[in-house]
Amino acid sequence: MAAKIQIPDELKKDLPQSTWGKVLGATPIVMTVIATMLAGLASSEMTKAQYDRSAAAQLQSKAGDQWGYYQAKKLRSAVARNTLDLLAATSDVSPLTADALPGADAATVDALVKNKIPAATPAKFDDGVNAALEAVEGSRPESEVLAALAKVKDATLAESLNAAKDAANAFDNATKSINKTSDKLDETLMAGDKRVFRDFSAARLRYTAARYDAEARLNQAVGGIYELQVRKGNISAEHHHKRSAKFFYGMLAAQMAVIIATFSIAARQKSFLWSLAAAAGLSAVSFAAYVYFYV
């Protein structure tokens, strides 16, 4: 339990028994309370800044995962297309027919025979989110990116991230049956007519390349939203850091007011020194109020 602040009796005798004297005697106590409050605010803002930095680091890791998926899928698409080109250049490949796919469902027939994969519908984002994404993708100056992000709320980014993930999951779900059926057909046709199996392999490579391209674009959208959240978190952390520093300066001013007020009592030069203490205290309170409401 904190000790109660008291003014020595010797100093109390020097204080006039008036409203002015009571204010003068209470000044060190009030300024101590204000200094303690400002120290707490400074510590609180620094904790928030550290939390935002930590959260931004975690989001950066998730963004890195999405970019890794994007690059891997683009690479797999390129490998599939190169293999298809090599197959077409070294052997005769004919268009695949539905009759060559026993037991295949309509979606698999469309994908392998008609080269029509399920629609990879991208998520729709808010205009502010689109503007921020364009600024990042266009390597615009950081000031332009920050200006665009300042118009986007955290809740809007969270909704955009969920929409981007839902779009990616929807495409994955739409291609699951095609992938499973293709795997079964691969095992079945491999033991049959080599010409049919060659045509099936070419069609499957074409479908695989298109699927990976679509998945890569969807992963790119998810990664882009994560990148915006990382920048948003860093902006918030910097904001809290600045507020913490300003609250700290206000605390120093309040502590200076305590020291000056104490000296004014001890030195019995009440008017001038107390005025300095009052000015320092008022400055600390005003500065803290400005930081709290406007910074």
In the chain, the percentage of residues whose pLDDT exceeds 90 is 49
Q: What pLDDT does 190 receive?
A: 87
Q: Is residue 2 part of a domain?
A: no
pLDDT band at 271 (very low <50, low <70, confident <90, very high): low
The domain containing residue 62 runs over which residues?
A: 9-294
The torsion angle over the Cα atoms of residues 189, 191, 194 and 200, rounded to 10 degrees, is 20
Tally of structural domains, the chain: 1
Q: Alpha-carbon distance 236 to 51, whole Å? A: 10
Nearest CA-CA partner of 287 in 42, 26, 47, 48: 42
Q: Report whether 177 contacts 107 (CB < 8 A).
A: yes
Average pLDDT over all residues of the chain: 84
CB atoms within 10 A of CB 243: 20
Nearest CA-CA partner of 112 in 207, 211, 215, 193: 207
Q: Is residue 4 part of a domain?
A: no
Q: Report whether 291 contacts 243 (CB < 8 A).
A: yes
Sign, CA torsion 60/65/66/71: positive
How confident is the model over 141-163, as pLDDT tens digits? 888 888 888 889 999 999 999 99
Q: Alpha-carbon distance 270 to 113, whole Å? A: 96
How confident is the model over 52-66, as pLDDT tens digits? 999 999 999 999 999
Q: Is residue 183 part of a domain?
A: yes
Q: Is residue 3 part of a domain?
A: no
Q: Alpha-carbon distance 212 to 234, whole Å? A: 33
Mean pLDDT of 218-235: 93
Q: Is residue 240 part of a domain?
A: yes
How confident is the model over 176-201, as pLDDT tens digits? 999 999 999 998 888 888 999 999 99
- Take residue 294 and report the two structure tokens written for it: 């406007």
How confident is the model over 112-142, as pLDDT tens digits? 999 899 999 999 999 999 999 999 888 888 8
How confident is the model over 6-48, as pLDDT tens digits? 555 554 555 555 555 556 567 777 778 888 888 888 899 999 9
